[in-house]
Amino acid sequence: MAKIVVALGGNAILSKDASAQAQMKAVKETAKELVNFIKNGDQLIITHGNGPQVGNLLLQQSAADTPENPAMPLDTCGAMTQGSIGYWFQNAMREELLDAGIDKDVMAVVTQTIVAEDDPAFQNPSKPIGPFYTESELDDIKAIHPEWQLIEDAGRGYRRVVPSPKPLEINEYRAIKQIVEAGIVPIVSGGGGIPVVKKGNQLIGTEAVIDKDFSASKIAQLIDADKLIILTSAGGVFYNYGKPDAVELKEVGIDEIQKHIDANEFAKGSMMPKVMAATDFVRTTGNPAVIGALEDVKRIIAGEEGTTIVSEDVAMVAK
């Protein structure tokens, strides 16, 4: 039985409709795909992003902020979205498993991720959260939220950015290992985990959002996963993405892909963190990582789709 960590983007959960009902429907469709890993005999560990959800929650908090009912800070909003998305996934996965004749427990774990207080990311916000804005909306948004920093996000519009420190450790990883060993499907490190700084015996929440791909890589390393799979709407990894000479990678060694990382050839707000996180997992463990599309799960399991990053210095590409 292979232990597989699957990382899902927050945009895979949120459709254009931000209502709870619409997101639960999206999670249910995602669960239908994820159950295929369990049908294949794998031990599944699910982690997910929360960028759109935490951004929307912050907007709601800001709109209702009063002295009597103050807005919650970013770390607490991260915990709140971990709970809500974990709740949706827990129920959706359990229902799909039972429909498939599989009686297996599913458990969401509120997860804290330890970061360094002096991480340079705190001086250079880069993690997009919340909804996309058009260029014509920027002046109004800046007038309402002058403290926000906004950047263009991979050609999809403008988004708010917040600090994104690197994960040093997953605080609950020992408990997660026990859950996995018990055969339970855990939903962990939602949104990359709640970013906390360790001071003595205290864990102190901080205003940041951890990239879920780096967090997924870290938890996969800590629980001795056999494979890390990062599912994305963009599918596999391409050289020269979006250009006439684009080439999709099918299998690539870490030394080969590292050259392209060093040359900044991948989009910073989308594919770059996925490739970096996958490469770090492969380099640390020697086990493979896959980047592919959610709708291709069955073919990814069969080894027919997605980009597989391996420790050997090989590169097989298909146009």
Residues with catalytic function: 10-11, 127, 212, 274
Write the CB contacts of 256 (distance below 8 Å, at least 6 apart in sequence): 313, 314, 315
Angle formed by the axes of helices 271-285 and 254-262, nearest 10°: 140
Inter-residue contact 210 to 193 (CB < 8 Å): yes
Contact assessment for residue 159 and residue 145, using Cβ atoms and an 8 Å cutoff: no
What single letter denotes the amino acid at residue 249? L
Single-letter residue type at 16: K
Nearest C-alpha neighbor of 162 from the set 214, 208, 215, 115: 208
> Nearest Cα to 13, choosing from 45, 51, 68, 59?
51
Q: In one letter, which amino acid is 102?
A: I
- Asked whether the beta carbons of 228 and 146 are under 8 A apart, the reply is no
Helix or strand or coil: residue 260? helix
For residues 273 and 167, is the Cβ–Cβ distance under 8 A?
A: no
Q: How many CB atoms lie within 10 A of CB 177?
A: 17
Strand pairing category for 169-170 and 289-292: unpaired
